[in-house]
Chains A and B, each alone.
Chain A
């Protein structure tokens, strides 16, 4: 049990340190055009890498996940509202879950 608590403490540290160090110590605005460009593109890159290919396995059924992905992309083109897109996709995946 002691080991479990020690491990839990390690997990908390390993979750907090990577978040806190840049936020606390990076105060000056970055001047370099390259780093600015890098940071401009980075959020899109991280979010895309997190989404693909993980989204295909997110529902435990590749077919419903593919349909959900299609709906998410289509709907985001028309109406990019986070809550709306997420809700509609879950409903569609839930519905198709009975088909496949």
Chain B
């Protein structure tokens, strides 16, 4: 089964993410040039960051002439959720994967790539992940460049409609497992409730987006893990399901 998760499968699985990224990064390019940065500077930021929320926050701070350590701290807090994602990926990766390969993979850990990669379960390997990251990376960088040069090609109505694409992907990824596992349902419900609470309750909602995500996801997975510890068989069943789904 491992042989199936090769570079080519990664490329194919990356196509929907790439398309979504083209639209989002296009918006980023437009916004950066309207803040007075050159399209090349915008593209450089996208090529070295590959993250949506962190980039948007970072450039707004640079535009207001923030101190560089302040920028580092803000972007780091927003991106701290990647610690959890990378930690989760490190458990599915073959132990013998080299440091260089791990360093390259780290470039491509994003919400969406992580989501697709984690649905491959224990089949995860360097080649598949590298393939999965290739097109989204190109899409993200090229989209920024195009957006920086052309202020608007897409009609606004289409641009705004594209904003929902990433979230729909997330829903399509989590629902199939939620349908089968009550514990996963509980975890999702708790995470949604906490995230909404942190977003809407006054005072608390001044916390940064990154911190809100970390608090709600860590708290809900800890509670679920304490209430419903996984059985070894459950883990195995999950892998078998994924193999069937991905076949």
Taking CB as reference atom, which chain A residue is nearest B219?
Answer: A45
Taking CB as reference atom, which chain B residue is nearest A57?
Answer: B163
Say whether B2 faces chain A, with CB atoms less than 8 Å apart.
Answer: no
Give residues 24-83 of B contacting A (CB, 8 Å): 37, 41, 44-45, 48-51, 54-55, 58, 61-62, 65-66, 68-69, 71-73, 75-76, 79-83
Interchain CA distance A60-B159 in the complex, whole Å = 10
Taking CB as reference atom, which chain B residue is nearest A12?
Answer: B48
Give 1 or 0 for each of B159-203: 1 = CB within 8 Å of chain A CB. 011111111111111111111000110011011101110011000
Residues in chain A near residue B87, CB distance under 8 A: 22, 26, 39
Interchain CA distance A36-B84 in the complex, whole Å = 13
Taking CB as reference atom, which chain B residue is nearest A15?
Answer: B49
Sort chain B's interface into a size bin: 35 or more
Residues in chain B near residue A9, CB distance under 8 A: 68
Number of CB contacts from chain A to chain B under 8 A: 289
Residues in chain B near residue A75, CB distance under 8 A: 172
Say whether A94 contacts B48, CB under 8 Å.
no
Min Cβ gap A43→B in Å is: 5
Residue from B87, B115, B157, B171 whose CB has the most chain A CB atoms within 10 Å: B171
Give residues 19-53 of A contacting B (CB, 8 Å): 19-24, 26-30, 33-34, 36-53
